[in-house]
A and B are shown apart, each in its own frame.
Chain A
């Protein structure tokens, strides 16, 4: 089953924060986050493995709540370069470390000056 992302779209001013959520009906092994700018390929951001770890780089971080089968992506002090569509991809427990990703439909983030 395809994970559900929310919100579908969000508009921010530079410097504002945003949270993007990804929810699955299946028990998950891992959650992957990607960003895609208009007309370009998706670019890998990070992977979170089951165990509830939180990861981040720069001002983008993420958490994974294994029990709730949810992940959240946190963008703090947003910059114009953060604009794009964010996708979560999930691997269920059956797939394990090399399981195939099932992607959500994406969240379109627009950062305005």
Chain B
């Protein structure tokens, strides 16, 4: 069955630096991969989607890459700010009647 691995340890970085989060999956390549942000006690907030035939997507300070050979996605936040501190979730989906699978998330702390 499909498994997703995200850094289980929290990532601590200094304000202004680039945060890089990793999402690895073990089995089939998904139709698309999503990244979400989740704050404590709240529902996830959609950030970016990247499809299996895309290598890179950008949105403002966010960048996502997708390597189906390595079975890996990287999520970058450039010029990080303390307000970026949250848990970031990676999710895979084959579409159709298949289920969306989420990773456990990586906690990011950005220190001022």
State yes or no: do A and B come from one complex. Answer: no
Residues of A that sit less than 8 Å from B by CB: none
